[in-house]
């Protein structure tokens, strides 16, 4: 050691270094063998300096992708629109359907805030909205001919859980909220 003591590495710092090594292997900068060797050294590292030496020949981690624009509208005159995956849902989102079926899967969605309102206007259509089981859902509105249902396991929802307000207005059809 040099004149001053090196600062000891924490478990969190070891995990961060290993995450960076895995990322570098995914980018093709390290072979799997190099990844295994460096990860073993990272788990055994006692100081921050030892950890720094394991990643000093790697470029800085890539910046996270910019936040995508939030989904505000889903629209179809005749069709079957579907949205799923990593979406960003605006605080107020609208679904407008003429004739068809709409499927909106919010399980992997990022909500703008702790509460979003999804307003569904449909003429002759069925809409299915899938939400995680830990989300608080408030379902309101009316269908002239048809019904609205909220199904799936009803887990205890924490008071601080995100809330999805779903309002439906339609002539003929069904609105289903499915918890998974």
pLDDT tens, position by position, 79-101: 899 888 888 888 899 999 999 99
> What pLDDT does residue 31 have?
75
Give the DSSP H or E segment for 64. none
In whole angstroms, what is the distance from residue 46 CA to residue 31 CA? 24
> What pLDDT does residue 123 have?
95
> What pLDDT does residue 155 have?
65
Q: What is the DSSP letter of 157?
A: P
Q: Are 148 and 78 within one domain?
A: yes
User: Which two three-digit tokens encode residue 33?
Assistant: 């063998």
> What pLDDT does residue 62 have?
62
Q: Are 81 and 147 within one domain?
A: yes
Q: Are 50 and 77 within one domain?
A: no
Q: Give a yes or no: residue 139 inside a domain.
A: yes
* Structural domain count of the chain: 2
Residue-wise pLDDT tens digits, 116-172: 899 999 999 999 999 888 788 899 999 999 999 988 766 666 666 788 899 999 999
Q: What percent of the chain has pLDDT above 90?
A: 36
Q: Are 47 and 82 within one domain?
A: no
Q: What is the DSSP letter of 47?
A: B
Q: Give a yes or no: residue 76 inside a domain.
A: yes
Band the pLDDT of 22: cuts 50, 70, 90: confident
Q: Are 38 and 77 within one domain?
A: no
Q: Are 81 and 35 within one domain?
A: no
Give the DSSP H or E segment for 75. strand 71-79
Q: Give a yes or no: residue 153 inside a domain.
A: yes
Q: Are 97 and 45 within one domain?
A: no
Q: Give a yes or no: residue 60 inside a domain.
A: no
Q: Are 113 and 28 within one domain?
A: no
Q: Are 117 and 170 within one domain?
A: yes
User: Which two three-digit tokens encode residue 40?
Assistant: 């073993």
pLDDT beyond 80 at 50: yes
Q: Are 95 and 165 within one domain?
A: yes
Q: Are 130 and 84 within one domain?
A: yes
> What pLDDT does residue 154 have?
63
Rounded to two decimals, the pTM is: 0.61
Q: Give a yes or no: residue 128 inside a domain.
A: yes
Q: Which residues have CB under 8 Å from 138's CB, separation 6+?
A: 163, 164, 165, 166
Q: Are 82 and 126 within one domain?
A: yes
Domain that holds residue 88: 71-179
Q: Give a yes or no: residue 2 inside a domain.
A: no
In whole angstroms, what is the distance from residue 168 CA to residue 141 CA? 5
> What pLDDT does residue 3 have?
43
Q: Give a yes or no: residue 4 inside a domain.
A: no
């Amino acid at each position: 050691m040099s004149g001053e003591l090196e600062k000891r590495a924490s478990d969190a710092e070891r995990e961060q270094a290993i995450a960076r090594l895995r990322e570098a292997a995914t980018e093709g900068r390290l072979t799997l063998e190099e990844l295994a060797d460096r990860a073993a050294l990272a788990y055994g590292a006692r100081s921050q300096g030892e950890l720094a030496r394991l990643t000093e020949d790697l470029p800085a981690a890539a910046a996270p992708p910019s936040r995508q624009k939030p989904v505000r509208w889903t629209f179809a005159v005749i069709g079957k629109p579907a949205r799923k995956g990593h979406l960003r849902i605006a605080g107020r989102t609208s679904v407008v359907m003429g004739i068809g079926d709409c499927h909106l899967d919010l399980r992997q969605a990022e909500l703008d805030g702790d509460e979003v309102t999804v307003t569904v206007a449909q003429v002759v259509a069925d809409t299915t909205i899938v939400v995680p089981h830990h989300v608080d859902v408030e379902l309101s509105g009316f269908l002239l001919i048809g019904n609205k249902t909220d199904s799936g396991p009803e887990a205890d929802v924490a008071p601080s859980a995100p809330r999805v307000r779903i309002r439906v207005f339609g002539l003929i059809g069904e609105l289903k909220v499915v918890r998974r």
